[in-house]
Structure 1
Amino acid sequence: MSSPKTAASASKPELPPNVLIFTPKLRATADTLLNGRIFTRLATTSTTDPSALVAAAAKVGDTFCFPFRSGILIFDGVGADEDVDIADTHHEHFRVVCLALKDAGIDLDVAGCVFDVKDILKAGFQLDVLSSGSVLAIDLMDGEEESDDDEDLEASLAALVSGSGTSIS
């Protein structure tokens, strides 16, 4: 019979799939994420290999972006001088990330992307600081795929609009 301590250590708790812990190399990066002023969420296609996404993000570094299960979050804004247009900096970071994704052969799902929002909630994340200096990130948009019912409804509406649907007498 195993001891409770052994059993507990063997069953290490796992986070839900939409929750991740972002631990950047620099503490200032966590502060930038938590207090950012502009965010872009890039969603990748469902065929994207998560390890390829992590590798592409690693080439860019973690000072202004982090990969999550189905994409990359780009963040900017803390500590920026008033003279510097933060949107220009953010757009340059967006360009760098997109080039890294292109080089890795990773495609974006444009319908799932959210661009240049001022609030992290609008980018689909809830954040909290951990005592270690890491950031707990909850992906609020995880798993928001179109259902078959939505696709059937869209097909029916398209048929009605084109005149090939059934008519009501």
Structure 2
Amino acid sequence: MSVAQPNSGNGLSPSPVVLPPNVFIFSPVDARAAEALLNSRIFTRLAVSAHTEPTKLSEALRSTEALSETFCLRFRNAILIFTGARADNPDDEMDSHHEKFRLVALALKEFDISLDVAGCVFDALDILQAGFQLDKLSDGAVMVIDLMSQEDDDDESSSGEDEELFRS
């Protein structure tokens, strides 16, 4: 996405749009993952310890093939686990959500990654309760706004290196 900006020559030149540090675009490989996120009814936010290196977290979450962008995404030090609406028993839906949480927790444990429990939200029935806002974009993408994001220091940014989506 580009925005036309005047340049010193004659005319306009495209300039990349810079998103605020608490905003990222979730563009999953499988468009069904975006729909799953938008249609989910149960959300768990896990806040990873601020001392965890992003590369270590990425490695932990990629270590298990069972982790998928269809139910889990990461942005900076937050992990969002989401479970979509199902027509059958609501208890089964909660059990499914807890199984997804278990998979993520086991991956974190294997890499000795701790959580900041004060920043975690479990089994929220609304995305806002989990500290996120979602906006559907065209072509199967979702703008995700982290409402609980805190800027601890200036060296953190919203570069592609900090954004990590779980790919199956």
TM-score (norm 1): 0.75
Other structure's SS at 1:82 match: coil
Q: In structure 2, list runs of 5 or more residues that go unmatched.
A: 1-6, 153-168
Considering fraction of residues, name the structure with more helix: 1
- Identity among equivalent pairs (%): 53
Output the CA distance in 1 between the equivalents of 2:35 and 2:14: 34
Q: How does 1:1-169 map to 2 (within 5 A)?
A: 3=9, 8-9=14-15, 12-58=16-62, 59=64, 60-78=67-85, 80-83=86-89, 85-143=92-150
What is the letter of the counterpart of residue 140 of structure 1? L
Pairwise CA distance, 1:81: 3.8
Distance 1:75 1:4 in 2: 49
- C-alpha distance in structure 2 between counterparts of 1:42 and 1:119, whole Å: 15
- Checking the alignment, whether the CA contact within 8 Å between 1:57 and 1:65 is kept in structure 2 is no
Instruction: State which structure, 1 or 2, has the greater radius of gyration over its C-alpha atoms.
Output: 1
For residues 92-138 of structure 1, the C-alpha deviation after alignment (integer angstroms, 9 at most, x for no partner) is 00000011111222210011100001000000000011102111000
Q: Distance in 2 between matches of 1:86 and 1:144?
A: 34
Q: Deviations over 1:130-168 (max 9, x none)?
A: 1021110000001188xxxxxxxxxxxxxxxxxxxxxxx
Bigger strand fraction: 2
How big is each residue's C-alpha offset from its partner over 1:17-40, in whole Å with a ceiling of 9 and x where there is no partner? Answer: 100111122111111111111000
Structure 1 residue 87, shift from structure 2 partner: 0.5
Alignment coverage as a number of residue pairs: 142
Compute the TM-score of the two structures, normalised by the length of structure 2.
0.75
